[in-house]
């Protein structure tokens, strides 16, 4: 069951079933929690981190979740580097969790909607990741698991401040909610930068596809709350949902304008993206993401029909990443080999489907 | 029969049947001739140019050529601008012959290998255009027609200088021989510029696809003799043939090197060219020619198989031109319309064929 995670690109969040999925790729809620009376990861020794890992493992195994959301426990030290890379590419762990540090763990559900990083920046980082705009539902789910875990674990909590975390920016609710949005026409028309500026003033952070410090590729951005203290969890969720709906409105409006004003240019862009993705012999990850963005826009706007048999466009986005590719090829590869394998994979995936 | 010239892209020279056709697209021989005792075009009045037109028409109609090489006579003033543009795109007349001047004519054979411009820079400019490297054969054919015409027309000739022409650079043999070569790997590796420099020192001129003052597109160049005086016709033909064979050798050598050193990059380039040509919705003439150049190289190198049913790649090169396109669309078009029609045409032509 767990092996599947490393061989298939499908995660629940990539299946494209959520509301407003033509623009909102996924919704994510993350809770930071730390065990009472044990120093937090930046300050703990190896024996302390070991205790955290073992206690969390026990708690995770005690918690009863049904069906596909049942949790499995992994020790990162036992995973090959390539598999850790794939977890990152599927947004199941953070780039920071890749660092070789002792006693790092991951609890994960088979459908990959729930994951808990152990001993990353905080003792526990619980994540719920759903397709489309479903922050409410993601929050409910996270809250439920948080409550279940609290039956087995005592979390560091202060009446005045709320949950205590390693980094002060997470203190309080420990809640970080984020959405991943695909806004190609706002990027094309240079509206995105203005919108991001406004979002910043409203207390939201905007980042690229793989979190802090990563640049945006393929017109995909993550928008998240920056404030964790002084607001109720439901307020945080409501505010981000509302802001996301406004981004969706703006992107939809711009799509309508472009479709009316320059349908030929849009069709051209989409056609070229398909033509290159299905015929190139060398394809970088960045180019693949940018072309997938164009293709996705074309499908959303009904400019083309694309009959992909197995993977959809979000899954191809994950497939485009270096780690997944190497797993697919069954060996580590240099950059040119990766770009060649990626190109081969896209030719395969797109030609098995259809286009018109 | 003549109507076909304006509706089909096929000319004898585009059928790709000549020797060394993978690099030498066509061979051309042009003879400049002027009627005795009538001022040459730059200095003649309308009644004089009328005399030239009528006399040439009579001579052309008297000359007996067999089958597809039988000559037809056209008065340029009776042709719509679009049809003249098509004659240019098929290399049957020069850009200069497009200018609106009185009493301009064109004699042309149905297979388009033979054409005679009347009242361009000289009274007569006889051209023979064949596919591949066939300068000898083109010269023989031109010489034969020249002799036949001399039975009906008296050409200005001086024992000491040879044939007299409007421009001193043509005096003597009045012969200009040229080849059109496709040298993509010499262009990619920046060898072309060096070779052109050497050719210049040896007395050859190098120009783009449509003669003087036009830039090269699609890695296609015309190489011609600059000297018309003091050398025998057969020497001119031999020298250019020999130089062309050297260009072919260099291009072949570079193709082998690139195929060995960077097969993936070449395959990528060819695949992308096919992908864009068969999926774009807007395609400029220049981009189309450049992509056709890549595709042609891929076919030559056996990197891809392309099953075009009606037109081959040289014919698509002609189809890519603005005038032919408008004829095809049945109306004059602005630049964006042309680029859209061109894209549509390529999608049609390439999808009706196959690629693997």
Residues A139-158, mean pLDDT to the nearest whole number: 94
State residue B91's pLDDT score: 83
Q: B215 or A275: which carries more pLDDT confidence?
A: A275
Which residue of A278, A279, A304, A355 is the best one to mutate when testing the B interface, meaning the one whose CB has the most B CBs within 10 A?
A279
Q: Do A343 and B268 touch (CB under 8 A)?
A: yes
Of A264, A265, A280, nearest to B275 by CB-CB distance is A280
- B28 in a labelled binding site: yes
Q: Do B281 and A275 touch (CB under 8 A)?
A: no
Asked whether A343 and A326 are in contact (CB, 8 A), the reply is no
- B50 in a labelled binding site: no
- A212 in a labelled binding site: yes
Pairing of strands A175-182, A24-33: antiparallel
State residue A288's pLDDT score: 94
User: Which range, A95-104, B58-67, B125-134, has the best average confidence (pLDDT)?
Assistant: B125-134
Q: Do A272 and B276 touch (CB under 8 A)?
A: yes
State residue B199's pLDDT score: 93
Q: Tell me: the pLDDT tens digits for A293-344?
A: 999 999 889 888 777 654 578 878 877 877 777 777 777 888 899 999 999 9
Q: Do A276 and B274 touch (CB under 8 A)?
A: no
Q: Is B214 a residue whose pLDDT tops 70?
A: no
Going by C-beta distance under 8 Å and a sequence separation of 6 or more, which residues neighbour residue A220? A25, A180, A181, A182, A208, A209, A289, A293, A317
Q: Do A282 and B264 touch (CB under 8 A)?
A: yes
| Tally of CB atoms within 10 A around A249 | 11
The Cα B340–Cα B320 span in angstroms is: 11
State residue A213's pLDDT score: 46
CA dist A115 → A93, A94, A228, A345 (Å): 8, 11, 20, 28
Question: What pTM does this model have?
Answer: 0.83
Percent of chain A exceeding pLDDT 70 equals 92
- Residue ranges in B106-232 assigned as alpha helix (H): 135-150, 184-188, 192-201
Q: Do B271 and A279 touch (CB under 8 A)?
A: yes
Structure tokens at A314: 């979000």
Residues of A with CB under 8 A from a CB of B: 264-265, 267-268, 271-272, 274-282, 336, 340, 343, 355
State residue A319's pLDDT score: 78
Q: A310 or A129: which carries more pLDDT confidence?
A: A129
The whole-angstrom distance between A320's CA and the closest CA on chain B is 17
Q: Do B280 and A264 touch (CB under 8 A)?
A: no
Q: Tell me: the pLDDT tens digits for A164-197?
A: 998 888 888 999 999 999 999 999 998 998 999 9
The Cα A23–Cα A25 span in angstroms is: 6
The whole-angstrom distance between B306's CA and the closest CA on chain A is 13
Structure tokens at B189: 């590796």
Structure tokens at B280: 């774009």
Q: Give the chain A residue nearest B278 (alpha carbons).
A: A275
Going by C-beta distance under 8 Å and a sequence separation of 6 or more, which residues neighbour residue B22? B300
Q: Tell me: the pLDDT tens digits for B290-334?
A: 999 999 999 889 888 777 654 578 878 877 877 777 777 777 888
DSSP 8-state class, residue A154: P
Q: Tell me: the pLDDT tens digits for B116-160?
A: 999 999 999 999 999 999 999 999 999 999 999 999 999 999 888
Structure tokens at B304: 């891809």
The whole-angstrom distance between B271's CA and the closest CA on chain A is 5
- B88 in a labelled binding site: no
The Cα B79–Cα B72 span in angstroms is: 14
The whole-angstrom distance between B276's CA and the closest CA on chain A is 5
Q: Do B281 and A271 touch (CB under 8 A)?
A: yes
3 state DSSP class of B92: coil
Q: Do A281 and B271 touch (CB under 8 A)?
A: yes
The whole-angstrom distance between A327's CA and the closest CA on chain B is 22
Q: Do B282 and A274 touch (CB under 8 A)?
A: no
- A179 in a labelled binding site: yes
Q: Is A47 a residue whose pLDDT tops 80?
A: yes
The Cα A199–Cα B133 span in angstroms is: 66
Percent of chain A exceeding pLDDT 90 equals 58
Q: What residues of chain B lie within 8 A of the CB of A345, using their CB?
A: none
Q: Please, what is the average pLDDT of chain B?
A: 88
Residues of B with CB under 8 A from a CB of A: 264-265, 267-268, 271-272, 274-282, 336, 340, 343, 355
Q: Is B42 a residue whose pLDDT tops 80?
A: yes
Q: Which residue, B172, B154, B157, is CA-closest to B51?
A: B154
The whole-angstrom distance between B343's CA and the closest CA on chain A is 9
Q: Where are the beta strands (DSSP E) in B24-64?
A: 24-33
Residues A78-85, mean pLDDT to the nearest whole number: 86
Structure tokens at B5: 């010239």
Which residue of A266, A272, A335, A348 is the best one to mutate when testing the B interface, meaning the one whose CB has the most B CBs within 10 A?
A272
- A180 in a labelled binding site: yes
Tell me the CB-side half-sphere exposure of residue B317, using CA atoms within 13 A. 27
The Cα B264–Cα B266 span in angstroms is: 5
Long-range contacts, A333-340 (Cβ 8 Å, 24+):
A336/A282, A336/B264, A338/A285, A339/A282, A339/A283, A339/A284, A340/A281, A340/A282, A340/B264
The Cα B161–Cα B163 span in angstroms is: 7
The domains found in chain B, sorted by start residue, are: 2-252 (3.30.590.10), 260-355 (no CATH)
- B179 in a labelled binding site: yes
Structure tokens at B75: 């008065």
Please report the ipTM that was assigned to this predicted complex.
0.81
Which residue of A259, A266, A267, A268 is the best one to mutate when testing the B interface, meaning the one whose CB has the most B CBs within 10 A?
A268
Quick one: pLDDT band at residue A40, thresholds 50, 70, 90? very high
Of A264, A279, A340, nearest to B275 by CB-CB distance is A279
Q: Do B274 and A274 touch (CB under 8 A)?
A: no
- A207 in a labelled binding site: yes
Of A271, A282, A343, nearest to B279 by CB-CB distance is A271
Residues A78-97, mean pLDDT to the nearest whole number: 86
3 state DSSP class of B281: coil
State residue A310's pLDDT score: 47
State residue A52's pLDDT score: 95
A207 forms bridges with which residues in the sheet? A222
The Cα A81–Cα B62 span in angstroms is: 85
Q: Find the helix or strand (DSSP H, E) in which B355 lies.
A: none
- B89 in a labelled binding site: no
| Helix and strand numbers, DSSP H then E, in chain A | 12, 10
Long-range contacts, B255-259 (Cβ 8 Å, 24+):
B255/B185, B255/B297, B255/B300, B255/B301, B257/B185, B258/B185, B258/B188, B258/B189, B259/B301
Which residue of B267, B268, B277, B348 is the best one to mutate when testing the A interface, meaning the one whose CB has the most A CBs within 10 A?
B268
State residue B310's pLDDT score: 47
The whole-angstrom distance between B275's CA and the closest CA on chain A is 4
Which residue of B258, B262, B267, B275 is the best one to mutate when testing the A interface, meaning the one whose CB has the most A CBs within 10 A?
B275
Q: In chain B, what is the straight-line distance between the N-terminal and C-terminal CA atoms, in Å? A: 37
Q: Do B272 and A279 touch (CB under 8 A)?
A: yes
Quick one: pLDDT band at residue A9, thresholds 50, 70, 90? low
Radius of gyration of chain B (CA): 21
Q: Do A274 and B279 touch (CB under 8 A)?
A: yes
The Cα B248–Cα B21 span in angstroms is: 10
Quick one: pLDDT band at residue A16, thresholds 50, 70, 90? low
State residue B213's pLDDT score: 47
Q: What residues of chain A lie within 8 A of the CB of B354, using their CB?
A: none
- A208 in a labelled binding site: yes
Q: Find the helix or strand (DSSP H, E) in which A319 lies.
A: helix A313-319
Q: b vs e for B82-118, b when ≥16 Cβ sit within 10 Å of the residue's Cβ? A: bbbbbbbbbbbbbeebbeeeebbbbbbbbbbbbbbbb
Q: Is B168 a residue whose pLDDT tops 70?
A: yes
Quick one: pLDDT band at residue A3, thresholds 50, 70, 90? low
The Cα A65–Cα B234 span in angstroms is: 92
Q: Do A271 and B280 touch (CB under 8 A)?
A: yes
Q: Which residue, B355, B235, B247, is CA-closest to B295?
A: B355
In total, chain B counts a number of residues equal to 356
Q: Please, what is the average pLDDT of chain A?
A: 88
The whole-angstrom distance between B292's CA and the closest CA on chain A is 15
Asked whether B299 and B313 are in contact (CB, 8 A), the reply is yes
**Total beta-carbon pairs less than 8 A apart between chain A and chain B:** 54
The Cα B356–Cα B346 span in angstroms is: 17
Q: Do A278 and B275 touch (CB under 8 A)?
A: yes
- A296 in a labelled binding site: no
Quick one: pLDDT band at residue B176, thresholds 50, 70, 90? very high
């Amino acid at each position: 069951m767990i092996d599947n995670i490393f061989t298939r690109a499908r995660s629940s969040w990539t299946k494209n079933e959520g509301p407003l999925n033509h623009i909102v790729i996924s919704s994510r809620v993350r809770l930071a929690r730390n065990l009472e009376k044990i120093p937090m990861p930046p300050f703990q020794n190896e024996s302390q981190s070991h205790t955290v890992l073992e206690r969390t493992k026990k708690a995770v195994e005690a918690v009863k979740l049904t069906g596909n959301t049942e949790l499995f426990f992994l020790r990162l030290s036992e995973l090959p580097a390539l598999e850790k890379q794939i977890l990152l590419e599927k947004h199941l762990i953070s780039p920071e969790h890749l660092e070789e540090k002792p006693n790092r763990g991951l609890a994960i559900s088979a459908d990959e909607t729930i994951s808990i990083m152990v001993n990353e920046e905080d003792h526990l980082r619980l994540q719920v990741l759903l397709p489309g705009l479903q922050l409410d539902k993601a929050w409910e789910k996270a809250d439920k698991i948080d409550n279940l875990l609290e039956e087995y674990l005592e979390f560091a909590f202060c009446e005045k401040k709320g949950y205590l975390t390693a980094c002060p920016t997470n203190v309080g609710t420990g809640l970080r909610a984020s959405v991943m949005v695909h806004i190609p026409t706002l990027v094309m028309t240079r509206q995105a930068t203005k919108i991001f500026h406004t979002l910043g003033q409203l207390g939201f952070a905007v980042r690229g596809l793989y979190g802090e410090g990563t640049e945006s590729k393929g017109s995909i951005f993550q928008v998240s709350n920056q404030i964790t203290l002084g607001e109720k969890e439901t307020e945080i969720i409501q505010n981000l949902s509302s802001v996301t709906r406004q981004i969706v409105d703006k992107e939809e409006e711009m799509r309508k304008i472009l479709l009316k004003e320059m349908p030929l240019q849009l069709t051209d862009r989409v056609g070229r993206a398909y033509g290159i993705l299905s015929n190139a012999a060398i394809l970088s990850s960045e180019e693949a993401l940018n072309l997938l963005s164009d293709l996705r826009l074309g499908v959303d706007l009904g400019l083309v029909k694309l009959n992909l048999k197995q993977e959809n466009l979000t899954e191809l986005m994950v497939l485009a990443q270096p780690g997944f590719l190497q797993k697919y090829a069954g060996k580590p590869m240099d950059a040119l080999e990766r770009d060649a394998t990626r190109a081969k994979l896209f030719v395969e995936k797109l030609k098995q489907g259809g286009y018109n």
